[in-house]
Every structure is written in C-alpha cells, then in structure tokens.
Structure 1
Amino acid sequence: MAAPQNYLAVIKVIGVGGGGVNAINRMIEVGLKGVEFIAINTDAQALLMSDADVKLDVGRELTRGLGAGANPAVGRKAAEDHREEIEEVLKGADMVFVTAGEGGGTGTGGAPVVANIARSLGALTIGVVTRPFTFEGRRRANQAEDGIAELREEVDTLIVIPNDRLLSISDRQVSVLDAFKSADQVLLSGVQGITDLITTPGLINLDFADVKSVMSEAGSALMGIGSARGDDRAVAAAEMAISSPLLEASIDGARGVLLSISGGSDLGLFEINEAAQLVSEAAHPEANIIFGAVIDDALGDEVRVTVIAAGFDGGQPPTRRETVLGVGAGKREEPAPSARNAEPVRQTSTLGSVPPREETQAPAEPVPSANESSLPPVSPPHVPTARPYQDSQAEELDVPDFLK
C-alpha cells in the first residue's frame, strides 16, 4: 500500500544574516505555525542562539565563523561557496520567504543568492527585508539600496520595510533594542499575513494557488498593517493598513492585493464586507483581490487587517502620493496654502488626489514665470562674487563699502 502523501503547501522561511536570523527567532517565539525555519549566517555565535529547525554556517571556511564584517561581497561569496547545501535544505518547498536586514554583509550579499536558488527550484520566492535606520550610517544605507536592487531581480515579490518609518509609530522614549524588536515584529507581520491565509483554516478560505496568482512575478510590493477595536473596527483597521506609515507609496494601481482580516468569533459579515470594499476601492479597478478571513479568539474584540499590494505597472508602486498615504487624511488640507505660496511642482503632485489636472495647470503659468525671473538674476551674482571675496585678503578694506 502506498505511503500517505502530504498535500499541504511546504513553506520555508529563511533568515539570512544577523537581521534575518533575529527576525525568524521572533517568528519562532510567537509561534508562527505551518512553516519550517532555516537560519543562514557567517556568524557561528549568532547561529548558536537561534532556535531554527535548520542552521547553516556558511562562514566556517571563508570567515572562520566570525561574520562578514558588513561586507556584502563576503556574504555573497560565502553563500555561493555553500550553494549545494542551501539547495539541499530548500528542496521540496512550494513557497520560500527570504528575510534579511539590508545594509550588512551576510544578509545583503547572501539573500540574492538564496533567492536565486529557491526560484531555480520552482518555489514561489518572496523577499521580506528591512531598510536600515538613518542612524546606522550612510555606508549601510548605500549597501542596502544595492542589495535591495539585486534581491528584486531574484524574487517573485519583494516587500521592503523602511525601519525609519517605525519611528513614526513608536514612542519618543523607545530604546534602540525595542526599535529593532519592532522591526522584527513587522517582518513577522509580513510573513504571517501571507502564511496564515494558506495554513490557517478560515471563514473565507484560501489556498496556495490563490496566493501564487497574486505574488508570482509581481515585482515590488507594499505591506500595510492595522488593528482596531470598538465601533467600525474592521473599517478603521483597513484604513490604518492602507494609510500605514510603513507604506512608502500608494497602493493605487495595484493589480494584485492580498487582504487578510483576523478577528474573534464575533467578527461580522458586514464589517468584513466594508473593510474589503475600502481596500478594493484603493487598488486598481481590475485588481485581483485575494481575500481571507481568519478567526482567532486570542484577539478578543480586536480586528487585524494586513494588506499586501503588488503587480504595479512598470513593476514599481507610484511614489508621488507617498505623503498622502503616510500622513493621512487629516493633513491633506494643510499643505494646500503652502503649495500655492512656494509654487513647487512636487507639492502639487502630492496634493493631486482630487483632480490630476491641477498638477499640469499650476506649474503651466506661475511656476515657469516665477522661476525664469528669479533663477537667472539670483544664481550668477551669488556664485562668482562670493568666492573671490572670501579667498582674497582685500576683505578688510573693501568689503563694507563695495559689497553694500
């Protein structure tokens, strides 16, 4: 008699580098179910601290287990040297999440290699990474941008979470430790928002093929999370999710949307419908919206909404309305007067949520005339006159009389 076959989707979450391993440790801690965890690092000591099912020390020869020293080239080489081992642990996966903290060595350099292997094995490959805090320095930020660009080429869908935006939803007294913990929590939300749709039986059930239809070769994606209690909680949570500070851009134009709503057993049909309608109106009119509702009694009277938007034309989400979503509806009216006074093109584009025509009309007459008159006279006198007077020693004699 044939052995019983496993018909469940095999989901593997790979943490690459220090940030990635910390993130999967957090996922293990909160009990993310239905997935296998794999930790990959060049730092042997950090690996020892992980509770992952599988641990791969890819730095034992190249770095003697001492880490990549924030050098992505070392991280890339370490992953390439252990390509066969990585391939072995990824075999059989239907979906692979590659999570990392961009900007360092192992995560930045190794994540694209891991993603490349996963995709070559036929797995739906999703990158969920963080962009570093500003206080981590310019070099780390530049390395992160390069790493994100490389990873985008190797995954089906890439979700980038900007750590700086966590500050806007954190208390001013937050410690550095808690700031990084909250970054791990958001990485967890990104992975859990997708895996729960597949692994947790829900009111409105989804399967792996549903998720794949949205996320396969979708390019850049945006993730927003929201939670609320009380009256209109589902709509409030959905509004929070699509105007989340974590969103770097608007979900306008998204052709694929994953919507996950979780709540207690009292979660109502009408509130689910209203929340779903709100999200569908924000996306592309012909968007493929994959929707799941999960009952979790641990939430009590709280409703949580996770929105993942992908499939933008051109592969990238529209960034012009970035501030509209990030700031929220209350502040949309404030920039209007300042935009008229200063007359910059950028501000009119962020305000252009009502009619797009205003963007072209405003700069057409006043902006060119103001700029043409102000720019030529101002720039020539300032630049040439300022430099010679500063360099010469004649300032003592002539500056008070002639410059005035």
Structure 2
Amino acid sequence: MKGFSVEENSSVYGAKMKVIGVGGGGGNMINHMIREGFVYDKVELIVANTDAQALDKSEAKTRIQLGETKVKGLGAGGKPEVGKESAEESYDEIKNQLDYADIVFIGSGFGGGTGTGAAPVVARAAKENKSLTIGIVTTPFAFEGLKRMKQAKAGIEELKKECDSIIVIPNEKLLSLVNPKEAGIKDCFKLVDNVLMRAVNGMVSVIMNSGKSDVNVDFADVKTVMSHRGIAIMGVGVSEGDEAVNEALKDALQSPLLDDISIDGAMGVLVHFRINTKCSLLEISKAMTMVQAAASDEADIIFGTTTDESIENNRVEVTLIATGFEPPKAGEKDDGGKEEPHDFRKDFIKKMRAASGSDFTSDDYDEMDREPAYTRNRMD
C-alpha cells in the first residue's frame, strides 16, 4: 500500500486555477460561490453561456458569450447540439480565457442544451492549453424528465473524452440529504449549487495555504490523483461531537452522493477536512486509516485541511474524491443470469483489520452503517 501523503505549510505558490461555469447550472454555481465568499488570489471564476440575459445577471468578472452569431444570445433551447456548435464558434475566446491555468475546473448542470453540449468543447480547449482538466457535473432530478437524463448521460460520455477526471453528482441523491417534505424546488437547486461549490472548494483548499496550521499538499500530488482518466466519485460528511472526525469521514465513505459505488479499487483518493483550529491533526491522521482500508492497495491517497475559526470547535466537514476507476457495469453470466454484485463489505472488514491492527468485526461494520451522521446533521 502506498499510504497517504501529507506536507505541512507547502503552499502551491505557482499553481493557477480557473473555475468556469458552463450553461445555466454552471453559472448558478459560480454566483453561489461568489455570494458564499469563495475568494482566492490564484483562482479565477468564469462563466460561459449562450443566454445573454443570464450572463448580464452573472456576478463573475469574466463572461464568455457562446455562439453570439448562431443563437444571438437567446440560449440553446435545450438542444446539446446547439450548445456544442455555439462553443465551437467561440472556441478561440474560450481557449484564450483559460490559458495559463495549471488546473481548470468545469462546472455544469447536464441535461439541457448549453452545459451538456458546450462543456466538452470547453474541456478540449483546456486540455489543449495543457491544463489539468476536471469536470464537475450534475445529472437531472427525476422530476426533470427522461429526455434530460438521456441527454445528460450522452454528454458525460463526450466529456469523458476530454477531461482528466469527471465528478458526476446525481441530483436525485441529494434528496437524501434533506427532508423532502420541507424542501421545495428552489431548496433542491440551492443544494446542488452548494455541493458543486463544495467539490471545487475541497480540491482548491487542499492545495492552497489557507492558514498557518493547515495541512497542504503539492500540486504534483493532486495531479497524480486527478490525472487518472475517467469517472470520479465524491462523498461528503458532516458531524459534531467528540468523535466528529471519525463520524464525518465514515459518512463521506458512505455518502449517498457516491451513488452506491464503493471507493474500493480507486487509484487516487483526495480527502479535505474543514475544521476548527483546535481540532487534533493526530485524530485526523488516525481516521485516514479508514480510507486506506477502503481504497486500492496501490492507491495514491492525499489529504489536507482548512482551518476556520468560525466553525464550531466540535464540528468537522469532510469532502472525499476518489478517481481512477469506472463504476462497475452489470454483466451477464454464461447461464444468462445477472452477475452478482461484488461483496465490498468483506473487503472493507479485511482491510480495516490490517490497517488498524484490531479485531474489526462485522458487528463493527454494521454499527458504522447504522444511522450515518448526515441524517442527524443535515447540510445547510
């Protein structure tokens, strides 16, 4: 096992990052980040859209009008092919705006026209600039209809061809994080914006020196984790109390955002902790054995922290991103029956015993699996 790497106070002074929101969902993400105070000296926020009215309302300083000649600022009409053609028309401007970036994050809500069609073109421009290119996209809620889901899946396949890694966040799974009886449509989409922001913030924060007591990692380490081409998965966890670090990390490993996929087999894992300055680094280091136990024996595992004096002393927020594998596909046995799913439970118990040196049992696993803290401590 390669273990996890950590470097203290090793800020990536030369790394420049750009976050571009493509389409309506991506633009909403950027606005949400600005309103929530997402400000870093070396991170530029950009929006790109076919809808001129949406661009006018954007709070981003850098705005790219896609397909000005083709659609005349009126949007893509829910057609990905129009979004793609509009981005192709504006390709030189996209490439120029994304130049000189070490990392480009592309955020978008898939299923509509602009984001679904234009995001892969934006990613191609970023890759041509030799930037580490990471897509962060959402798939539609069930109430948005089958057509949008079908378009989203096709768009993800196109985006995979151009990105180093793609984090796919299923909107429908977000409903597990709120009380469905109390959450309206606006609440649901606000939650989407918040999770998209958290995905970006987790990766940005882990390589930026936010405070003297923070644990940071080199850009080269992040590149190692995120350069494994393919689908990435993201988990989030929040907890409070004496065991907050352990509980929050357990929740991230079992997060509904993982879409029922284990991180077993992941070749890269990045974990970010948002903590109070009084939180023990030793406690975090011990908790990371859970990630070692769950990931591939050959995985590159890195973690970092962001200290925030405004957060409660006993509250911990965790963002986990795993890369370097494709979700398992259902196969057919020779007898025509469905292939049985792999029993990750046994693997996890075995690895936990090896990592902790203790008699970790199936009862311990069941206790971990019982009422995770995200149901007790809802996301804001």
TM-score higher than 0.5 here? Answer: yes
Instruction: Choose between structure 1 and 2 for higher RCO, CA contacts under 8 A separated by at least 6 residues.
Output: 2
CA distance in structure 2 between the aligned counterparts of 1:19 and 1:87, rounded to whole angstroms: 21
Within 5 Å, which residues of 2 pair with 1:343-382? 349=341, 353-354=345-346
CA distance in structure 1 between the aligned counterparts of 2:49 and 2:294, rounded to whole angstroms: 40
Q: CA deviation at 1:154?
A: 0.5
Q: CA deviation at 1:355?
A: 7.6
Gaps of 5+ in 1: 1-5, 321-343, 357-404
Residue 33 of structure 1 aligns to a residue in which SS? coil
Name the residue aligned to 1:400.
Answer: none
Name the residue aligned to 1:93.
Answer: 101
Q: Could you say if the C-alpha distance between residues 174 and 120 of structure 1 is closer, same or farther in structure 2, counting changes exceeding 3 Å?
A: same
* 1:250–1:319 CA contact under 8 A, matched in 2: no
Within 5 Å, which residues of 2 pair with 1:4-403? 7-34=13-40, 35-172=43-180, 173-201=182-210, 202-248=213-259, 249-301=261-313, 302-312=315-325, 316-318=326-328, 349=341, 353-354=345-346
* 2:117–2:155 CA contact under 8 A, matched in 1: yes
* 2:205–2:305 CA contact under 8 A, matched in 1: no
Percentage identity across paired residues of the two chains: 47
TM-score relative to the length of structure 1: 0.77
Listed one character per residue, the Cα deviations across residues 294-336 of structure 1 (whole Å, up to 9, x for unaligned) are 2111212211111100112xxx03468xxxxxxxxxxxxxxxx
TM-score relative to the length of structure 2: 0.82
Tell me which amino acid in the other structure corresponds to 1:88.
N
* 1:234–1:274 CA contact under 8 A, matched in 2: no
CA distance in structure 2 between the aligned counterparts of 1:215 and 1:297, rounded to whole angstroms: 29
Q: Which has the higher helix share?
A: 1
Listed one character per residue, the Cα deviations across residues 346-403 of structure 1 (whole Å, up to 9, x for unaligned) are 6x636663389xxxxxxxxxxxxxxxxxxxxxxxxxxxxxxxxxxxxxxxxxxxxxxx
Tell me which amino acid in the other structure corresponds to 1:304.
E
Tell me which amino acid in the other structure corresponds to 1:69.
G
Name the residue aligned to 1:384.
Answer: none
CA distance in structure 2 between the aligned counterparts of 1:196 and 1:259, rounded to whole angstroms: 11
CA distance in structure 1 between the aligned counterparts of 2:342 and 2:144, rounded to whole angstroms: 29
Listed one character per residue, the Cα deviations across residues 30-55 of structure 1 (whole Å, up to 9, x for unaligned) are 11122101110000001111111200
Q: What's the C-alpha RMSD, in Å, of the aligned pairs?
A: 1.8
CA distance in structure 2 between the aligned counterparts of 1:218 and 1:281, rounded to whole angstroms: 23
Aligned length: 324
